[in-house]
Structure 1
């Protein structure tokens, strides 16, 4: 969507705060021995308490309130009986709607101490997202997001998953522009308009190139198999740059 009025921005900020608070509360509860289903229940209760609805459930009939992906799972992991262990990487992706407005956020969290290479991947994954966000602003090239993230990844010897893109959001979970590459592309000539609402969510990897669907029809895995992290904010393009709305407040 494109923000044109203050009340639209206020409503977007409200649902942005809710999804951010939910994700960070879930992350604080992360501990070895708990199941992904138990972690998801924390998210479900928080969304309900705030008067919000899980976007994956209402939009796609996803079998969970949030997406929780552990280690080899890189996105759309189904919450269930899997037990979280020390040293795991856990991606929590929360998207929800309230009063007709949608916001989407996600991050990869370390459970206890992880290998130094994975710790570095997490730090660089967050930095890749921040570099992409810095390319958002009125009349800036949409392709600038992928170019900047791509340079950062290449300089540090990383790869990017190239079939999981950023997207427009606001009045629905996925809307125009429906695919925003977070890797370098050719032929992308669109520009970012003032007020455009979009996500910035690179999937940074140590060798992965594609996301492949698993047997359950939901969970995605890296192809070739490699560690992957994802960090995501919902932002609004302004004349002064990107306004991040998915902050816990």
Structure 2
């Protein structure tokens, strides 16, 4: 969407803060021995208490409140009876709606005991996301997102998942524009003030694609590499973007 009023900004900031609070609480509550369904219920209860709903559950009939993906499953993981183990790499992705406004955010982290390569991957992916965000403003070409993600991945010794993109958001879960995570010199689209988009790099230690599983949701790496994703929803301005998914 493109914001058209202060009401739009306020509504997006409200749901953005809620999404951030839910991810923060789910990460805090995550424990070894807990099932991903139990962790999801924590997020669902908090969403309800804050007057928000899970957008994928409401509009796409997703079988959970949040996407919780472990290890080789890196996106759209269905909360189930899978038990969180020591050293698991976890991704929590929350997309929620309140009063017609939608925000989307994701966070990757590792349960103790921590592995230096995995912690570095998570931190590097987060830093790349922030570098992209602070490079964007009204008039910047959309392909700058992919250029930075691709360049940073190569600089860090990582690969990029090419079939997972950043995207527009705000009134629906996925809106235009679709934003590639690699540089496309032929993409002449330009960012405009008021555009609401996600920035969500996926970086891996090997694979460059993901494979949808038979459940119709879970996206899994086809090899034994690891992947991390971090995601914020932002509003493009004439200066630095407004980051909505913070608390």
CA distance in structure 1 between the aligned counterparts of 2:183 and 2:223, rounded to whole angstroms = 20
Q: Over aligned residues, Cα RMSD in angstroms? A: 0.9
Partner residue, 1:95: 95
CA distance in structure 2 between the aligned counterparts of 1:72 and 1:220, rounded to whole angstroms = 9
8 A contact 2:166–2:179 mirrored in 1: yes
> What is the number of residues matched between the two proteins?
247
Partner residue, 1:183: 182
SS in 1 for 2:211: strand
Matched, 1:218 2:222: no
CA distance in structure 2 between the aligned counterparts of 1:239 and 1:186, rounded to whole angstroms = 23
Matched, 1:107 2:84: no
Partner residue, 2:195: 196
CA distance in structure 1 between the aligned counterparts of 2:131 and 2:45, rounded to whole angstroms = 33
Deviations 1:135-154 (Å, cap 9, x if unpaired)?
Answer: 22111110001101111111
Matched, 1:233 2:232: yes
Gap runs ≥5 in structure 1: none
TM-score by length of 2: 0.98
Partner residue, 1:6: 6
SS in 2 for 1:103: strand
CA distance in structure 1 between the aligned counterparts of 2:201 and 2:221, rounded to whole angstroms = 14
CA distance in structure 1 between the aligned counterparts of 2:179 and 2:87, rounded to whole angstroms = 32
1:48-197 mapped onto 2 (5 Å cutoff): 48-177=48-177, 179-197=178-196
8 A contact 2:109–2:119 mirrored in 1: no
Moved over 6 A (4+): none
Deviations 1:199-246 (Å, cap 9, x if unpaired)?
Answer: 000001011101101121111011344100000000000011211000
8 A contact 2:105–2:245 mirrored in 1: yes
Gap runs ≥5 in structure 2: none
Deviations 1:89-122 (Å, cap 9, x if unpaired)?
Answer: 1100000100000000010021112221111111
Partner residue, 1:24: 24
TM-score by length of 1: 0.97
CA distance in structure 1 between the aligned counterparts of 2:73 and 2:114, rounded to whole angstroms = 17
CA distance in structure 2 between the aligned counterparts of 1:184 and 1:96, rounded to whole angstroms = 30
Q: State the 1:56 CA deviation.
A: 0.8
CA distance in structure 2 between the aligned counterparts of 1:225 and 1:146, rounded to whole angstroms = 25
Q: State the 1:186 CA deviation.
A: 3.1
